[in-house]
Structures are given as C-alpha cells and as structure tokens.
Amino acid sequence: MPKNVLVGLDVGTSSVKALFITDSGEVLDRIESKIHTNYDQSGHAEQDANEYWQAVVDIFQRAGSLKDDVVAIGLSGQTPSVVCIDEFGNPTYPVLIWQDVRSSQEAEELLEHFGNPVATIGTSLPWSASACPAKLFWLARNEPQVVAKTRWVLQPKDYVGFKLTGAAISDPWSSKGLCNVLTREPIDVLFEFVGWNKQVTPELLDGQASRGKLTALAVSELGLSSENIKVTVGLSDAMCGMLAIGALTQDRAFIITGTSAIVGISTDSNVTDAAGLYVIPKSCSPKAVVYGPTQSSGASVAWVANLFGVSIDDVMDQAAKANLMFVPTYLPYISGERAPIWRTDIRGSFNLVDSAATQSEFFAAVLEGISLHERSVLDAASSTLSTNYSSITLGGHAGNDQRWDPIRLRTLGKGLERKTDIDSTTRGAAMLAMTNSGLGLTETAELLKPSSTPSSPDLDQINYSEARYRDFLALRSNLLSFHSSRT
C-alpha cells in the first residue's frame, strides 16, 4: 500500500541532509550529500549555491522508489548566510556563509551607527560579521557589480526553495536583518546605509506556509512523478531543531549540536531584548525563544580528531577513559566565538595542563569545554528571562550519541532529556511539511516526535560541574582581557 512520505530537507554547513518519514512517524531513510566550503586565512568562508541544488538532486536520485510516494517537502537551512541570485536563480557571487567574518569592520560601523538593534530590526540581533547586514555592507563596498546584478538575497534553504518552485520566498526569522521581524517589512534605513536596494528582500511568510508546488523542471531533475507536491517555506536550522525537540511547543531549556550549537530557552513570555543573544519573537514563532548560536561545537571535535590523526569516534571513546584529575580546561574558541561574547578575534586554549595528561585527557577537555561554553549561553538566557532551569533537552549529535551523557552530566549538572534522533533539523523540516495536510505545528510535533532518554547527575557530578564551570568562566575572562589588551 502506498505511504504518504514526507521529506525534510536541511541545507547545512557541511552537507544537505534529507529525512524520508511517513505521516505516522516511520523513518524510511536518511540520505546525506556533502557540500564544500572554501576557507582562507582572512576570514572568508564561501560556498557555491549550485552545490546545494546538486546535492538535492543527488539525494533524490539515491532515494529510489521512495520518491514515488512523496507528498510534501519541508525546508531547513543554515543561517545567517547571503545567497545572491539574479532573476533566473543564477548565483551572482559565492555564498557568504555564517562562518564568514570578513565584514568585521562593517559590523563595527553598523553598531556605531544604529546602536541597539531592537528599534531597527525588531529584536536583539547582534551587529556581528556573521549576520546579513554586515555581509551586504561588505559586498556593496568591495563588489559593487554583484549588487547591480543581484535580484534576490536569499538563505540557502530559500535558494533550494526557489529551485523547487520558482518563487523567492523566505520566513522573517531566516531573513532577519533584511526585514524587521515584527513588521516583516524591509528595513529602509538599513538598506540605504549598506548600499543595497530593499527590493532584494524576498516575500516573507510563516515557515509552515506553502511556497507553492514544484516546477516542471524540478520534477524532471528530481525524478518525481507529480508537480502536486507542496513545499513549505521552511525555517532556519535552529528553529527546525527547536521544533523537533519540542521547544517551539513547550517551554524548554535546550542544546542542539551540530557543526556549531544552538542553545537557549523557550517561553510564553514576551521578550524583545537580550544582550548578546538572539530573541525569536512570537511574530516568528509559536513561542518566544532566547538563544545563542555558538561557533565551534562539532567543529571542535573534528579539529582535535584531525590534530591527533584519529576519528571522531576515537575521540569519543578515548575521552571516556580520561582521568578527571588531569583533564585540562579547554576554551573552544578556535575560530572566534558567537554567543554570548561575539568576538571574532579571540582564539582557543588549553589551560591548567598537567604533565600527567595524555591524549585521553585532552579529548575529554575538548568535550567538556564545548559543554561548559554552552552552559554559559544557557545561563545568559536564564538571566535575561529571570528564570531558572532544572533540566535540559539535548538534540542533534549530543542527543543521539549516549557517549556524551557523562560529559553533559558532569559539566551541566542538570537533569537531561536526550532526544535520540540523528538529525533534529530534518525532522523539524518534515514536521513543517506535514502541516500541508491541514494539521497545526503542535499536532505535527507530537505525531513525529523522536524518542527520549532521561538521565540525572549524581552529587559528585554536580560538584565537579560547579568547580569546572568556575574555572572555565575565570579563564575565559582572562582570555578576553588578554585579547583586548592586544588590540
């Protein structure tokens, strides 16, 4: 009997991933297609938008007969990135992804000119080099011909949406900085200041809204049988991850890990400003969310694995053998940091290194340092909301890999609910796809939710977590002072 197959597509930093799942929650397949990023020493981080579409085509070619039963596609993607295309969908410049920090000077000028972003953007969006306004400012100054040739400025998932449906559409949160997230209107004064025409802003709709049906060309390229497959507008990877673990339908403290991490607290309270953190207002989400993106979560693990010439699995397995008396304190700022400190200039370090430390202790230090920094983001969100959190929901790699449990328990010191799902973002995208059947987000989140595994720290883990966290914060303060004194 044919099944109603939903596809959740996530255009991530290192790959495009797809989840093929039925409307009853049965996972049929997960397919991943890698994409390439060009980095250099001057802070450039670029991708080719054409690779996003090639990856989607590759995924559907490998899906076999599952394609025949697809009824809807939901989208998720990395943000904030800048995808410049002409009216036909041809890229006019390489994609400046969120890791690109070439526009640090422009970010400083935006901060000096506009100050607190709430009045301009409608929410607490740091004027950082990773955000869209600074990237557009840099392009106008350095690549004016690109500005002249560009019809639309999109996010990666919206570029895929354009290729699927021919429509330039985004959601307000993914396009924050181009639009005011409360009014959903382009920000005239900002576009004028950075030297762009506001008409490059796509149409803005809710993430669960339909962006239309497939074009005949998309049907042909993907090998599908019908144009009557609806595609949702989609949400950022952060919001799709939140949706998948229940943070957009219930109040939760959460950590969702991938290359970077998304860390925050969702609430029914109305929030507009949070120094050093993002605030997703209720105009963009069923719940307000105070959260921050980090720079290097999985990226730190991959870095140390490469440094020692081992696999990521080896890092995880050997870290479990570490003698905790000799684990250094790792500050995971190997590529700068985003929330809550927003410093592109700082760099990571190992501290309090003992001569007895072995490879295992260094691996454990990296994992602990990642988690301790994420705890600092949670505490910043908690301070903004004037609330406490007693448990933390884990999603992404940290949710799926039980080897993280002892690390999390002895660094966070809180009860954990680990969502045992390989990729939260694609599940969240599939939940969006399911809303095309007429169900609301709360219903689809319940029907397609992943399984959970709870755990609680013992007294020794709680005490260890408090001591390690105090050291971590003190060492970070020293590091920030050191880097500030160098400039």
343, β-bridge pairs: 337
Which tens digits make up the pLDDT trace of 95-115? 999 999 999 999 999 999 999
Tens place of pLDDT per residue across the chain (487 aa):
468 999 999 999 999 999 999 999 999 999 999 999 999 988 999 999 999 999 999 999 999 999 999 999 999 999 999 999 999 999 999 999 999 999 999 999 999 999 999 999 999 888 999 999 999 999 999 999 999 999 999 999 999 999 999 999 999 999 999 999 999 999 999 999 999 999 999 999 999 999 999 999 999 999 998 999 999 999 999 999 999 999 999 999 999 998 889 999 999 988 877 878 989 999 999 999 999 999 999 999 999 999 999 999 999 999 999 999 999 999 999 999 989 998 988 999 999 999 999 999 999 999 999 999 999 999 999 999 999 999 999 998 777 889 999 999 999 999 999 998 877 899 999 999 999 888 999 999 999 999 999 999 999 999 999 999 999 999 999 999 999 888 6
DSSP string, 285-350: SSSEEEEEE-S-SHHHHHHHHHHHT--HHHHHHHHTT--GGGPPEEE--BTBB-TTT-BSS---EE
Domains and CATH numbers, the chain: 5-233 (3.30.420.40), 245-487 (3.30.420.40)
Asked whether the beta carbons of 157 and 163 are under 8 A apart, the reply is no
Among 174, 150, 153, 151, CA closest to 233: 174
Does the global pTM surpass 0.85?
A: yes
Q: How far is CA 103 from CA 107, 113, 197, in A?
A: 6, 15, 19
Round to whole Å and give the CA distance between 192 and 173.
21
Which tens digits make up the pLDDT trace of 427-468? 999 999 999 888 999 999 999 999 999 999 999 999 999 999
DSSP code at position 202: P
Round to whole Å and give the CA distance between 474 and 465.
14
Among 73, 287, 61, 249, CA closest to 160: 73
At residue 129, the pLDDT reads 92
**Side chain identity, residue 241:** G
* Cis before 340? omega within 30: yes
**Side chain identity, residue 345:** D
At residue 215, the pLDDT reads 96
Which contacts qualify for 141-150: CB closer than 8 Å, 24 or more apart?
141/106, 141/195, 143/93, 144/195, 146/84, 146/92, 146/93, 147/195, 147/196, 149/84, 149/86, 149/92, 150/84, 150/85, 150/86, 150/92, 150/93, 150/200
What six digits make up the tokens of 220?
Answer: 């042909």
- Using alpha carbons only, what angle is made at residue 476 by residues 322 and 384, rounded to the nearest 5 degrees? 110
Helix (H) or strand (E) run with residue 39 in it: strand 38-39
Integer-rounded Cα Rg, in Å, for the chain is 22
At residue 487, the pLDDT reads 66
Helix (H) or strand (E) run with residue 263 in it: strand 261-267
Round to whole Å and give the CA distance between 72 and 150.
30
Round to whole Å and give the CA distance between 125 and 190.
13
At residue 137, the pLDDT reads 98
